[in-house]
Chains A and B, each alone.
Chain A
Amino acid sequence: MTEERPKDLLSGNEAIARGAWEAGVTFASGYPGTPSTEILENFARYPGIYAEWAPNEKVALDAAIGAAYAGRRALATMKHVGLNVAADSFFYASMTGAEAGLVIISADDPQMHSSQNEQDNRNYAKFARVPCLDPADSQEARDMVIAGFDISEQFDTPVLVRPTTRISHSFTMVESSDERLDVPPRIKKFPKNPQKYVMVPANARHRHPFIEKRLQALKDFAETFPLNRTEWRDTELGIITGSVAYQYAREVFPEASILKLGMSYPLPMQMIADFARRVKRLIVLEELDPFIEEHVRLAGIPVEGKSIFPLCGELNPTIVRNAAIEAGLLPAEHFIPPTELPEKMPPVPVRPPVLCPGCPHRSTFWAIKKLHLPINGDIGCYTLGVVHPLDAIDTTGCMGAGIGVAHGASKSTGRKHVAVIGDSTFFHTGIPALANVAYNNSPVITVIMDNRVTAMTGDQPNPGTGKNLMGGDAPRIELEPLVKAMGIKHVKKVDAYDEKSVETTLKEFKRLDEPSVLITERPCALLPEVRKTYQPLKVDLEKCDGCGVCVRTGCPALVRSSEIHEESGRAKVEIDPLLCTGCDLCAQVCPSEAITFRAQMDELAFATHI
Chain B
Amino acid sequence: MKTINFLLAGVGGQGVLMASNILASVGMLAGYDVKKSEIHGMSQRGGNVSSHVRWGEIVHSPIIPDASADFLLAFEAMEALRYLPMLRADSVVLMDRHQIVPVTVTSGDAVYPEYADIEGTLRQISPNVQWVPGVELAEEMGNARVANIITLGLLSTYLDVPESVWKQAIARRVPQRFVELNYHAWETGRKLRETVNA
- Once the chains are docked, how many angstroms separate the CA of A171 from the CA of B21? 9
- Once the chains are docked, how many angstroms separate the CA of A194 from the CA of B34? 51
Q: Given contacts A345-B117, A556-B46, A559-B101, are A172 and B107 in contact (CB under 8 A)? A: no
A251's contact among B11, B61, B111, by CB below 8 Å, is which? B61
* Size category of the binding interface on chain A: 35 or more
In the complex, B35 has a CB within 8 A of chain A: yes
Q: List B101-122 residues whose CB lies under 8 Å from chain A.
A: 101-114, 117-118, 121
Q: List A330-362 residues whose CB lies under 8 Å from chain B.
A: 336-342, 345-356
In the complex, A307 has a CB within 8 A of chain B: no
In the complex, A458 has a CB within 8 A of chain B: yes
- Once the chains are docked, how many angstroms separate the CA of A356 from the CA of B44? 9
A173's contact among B33, B60, B66, by CB below 8 Å, is which? B33
Q: List A512-558 residues whose CB lies under 8 Å from chain B.
A: 526, 551, 554, 556, 558
Closest chain A residue, CB of each to CB of B100: A351
- Once the chains are docked, how many angstroms separate the CA of A381 from the CA of B61? 32
- Once the chains are docked, how many angstroms separate the CA of A356 from the CA of B43? 11
- Once the chains are docked, how many angstroms separate the CA of A458 from the CA of B43? 11
- Whether the Cβ atoms of B106 and A337 lie closer than 8 Å is no
Q: Mark B18-46, 1 if CB is under 8 A from A, else 0.
A: 00000011001000011111111111111
Which residues of A sit under 8 angstroms from B84, Cβ to Cβ? Answer: 339, 341, 345
Which residues of B sit under 8 angstroms from A554, Cβ to Cβ? Answer: 103, 107
- Whether the Cβ atoms of A349 and B78 lie closer than 8 Å is yes
The interface stretch among A126-134, A316-324, A368-376 is A316-324
For the complex formed, measure the closest distance between the CB of B111 and the CB atoms of chain A, giving whole angstroms. 7
- Whether the Cβ atoms of A169 and B121 lie closer than 8 Å is no
Q: Given contacts A9-B25, A348-B113, A381-B45, are A339 and B66 in contact (CB under 8 A)? A: yes
Q: List B121-179 residues whose CB lies under 8 Å from chain A.
A: 121, 124-125
- Whether the Cβ atoms of B85 and A341 lie closer than 8 Å is yes
- Whether the Cβ atoms of B66 and A338 lie closer than 8 Å is yes
Closest chain A residue, CB of each to CB of B105: A349
- Once the chains are docked, how many angstroms separate the CA of A338 from the CA of B69? 12
In the complex, A165 has a CB within 8 A of chain B: yes
Q: Mark A4-18, 1 if CB is under 8 A from B, else 0.
A: 000101000000000
Closest chain A residue, CB of each to CB of B108: A560
- Whether the Cβ atoms of A352 and B104 lie closer than 8 Å is yes
In the complex, B192 has a CB within 8 A of chain A: no
Q: Given contacts A338-B85, A342-B124, are A351 and B112 in contact (CB under 8 A)? A: no
- Whether the Cβ atoms of A247 and B60 lie closer than 8 Å is yes
Which residues of A sit under 8 angstroms from B39, Cβ to Cβ? Answer: 113, 165, 169
Which residues of B sit under 8 angstroms from A341, Cβ to Cβ? Answer: 84-85, 125
- Whether the Cβ atoms of B112 and A349 lie closer than 8 Å is yes
- Once the chains are docked, how many angstroms separate the CA of A347 from the CA of B87? 18
For the complex formed, measure the closest distance between the CB of A179 and the CB atoms of chain B, giving whole angstroms. 23
For the complex formed, measure the closest distance between the CB of A22 and the CB atoms of chain B, giving whole angstroms. 21
Which of B43, B61, B114 has the most chain A CB atoms inside 10 A of its CB? Answer: B61
Which residues of A sit under 8 angstroms from B42, Cβ to Cβ? Answer: 114, 353, 456
Which residues of A sit under 8 angstroms from B125, Cβ to Cβ? Answer: 339-342
For the complex formed, measure the closest distance between the CB of B30 and the CB atoms of chain A, giving whole angstroms. 13
Q: List B59-90 residues whose CB lies under 8 Å from chain A.
A: 59-63, 65-68, 78, 81-82, 84-88
- Once the chains are docked, how many angstroms separate the CA of A173 from the CA of B55? 12
- Whether the Cβ atoms of A353 and B46 lie closer than 8 Å is yes
- Whether the Cβ atoms of A171 and B36 lie closer than 8 Å is yes
- Whether the Cβ atoms of A317 and B65 lie closer than 8 Å is yes
- Whether the Cβ atoms of B41 and A34 lie closer than 8 Å is yes
Q: Mark A155-177, 1 if CB is under 8 A from B, else 0.
A: 00000000001100111110000
For the complex formed, measure the closest distance between the CB of B118 and the CB atoms of chain A, giving whole angstroms. 7
For the complex formed, measure the closest distance between the CB of B63 and the CB atoms of chain A, giving whole angstroms. 5
For the complex formed, measure the closest distance between the CB of B25 and the CB atoms of chain A, giving whole angstroms. 7
Which of B65, B68, B104, B111 has the most chain A CB atoms inside 10 A of its CB? Answer: B65
Which residues of B sit under 8 angstroms from A348, Cβ to Cβ? Answer: 78, 81-82, 113
Which residues of B sit under 8 angstroms from A338, Cβ to Cβ? Answer: 66-67, 85
- Whether the Cβ atoms of B25 and A316 lie closer than 8 Å is no
Which residues of B sit under 8 angstroms from A137, Cβ to Cβ? Answer: 35, 62
Which residues of B sit under 8 angstroms from A114, Cβ to Cβ? Answer: 40-42
- For the complex with contacts A170-B35, A251-B65, A356-B46, 4 further pairs of A-B residues with Cβ separation under 8 Å are A34-B41, A250-B60, A339-B88, A346-B113
Q: List, sorted by A's number, 26 A–B pairs whose CB atoms are closer than 8 Å.
A: A7-B28, A9-B28, A9-B34, A35-B40, A35-B41, A113-B39, A172-B34, A172-B62, A173-B33, A173-B34, A244-B62, A250-B60, A316-B63, A318-B65, A345-B117, A346-B81, A347-B110, A348-B82, A349-B113, A351-B102, A353-B43, A354-B103, A388-B107, A458-B44, A559-B106, A560-B108
A-B complex: 8 closest residue pairs judged by Cβ atoms: A114-B41, A349-B110, A346-B113, A170-B62, A353-B42, A171-B36, A170-B37, A250-B60
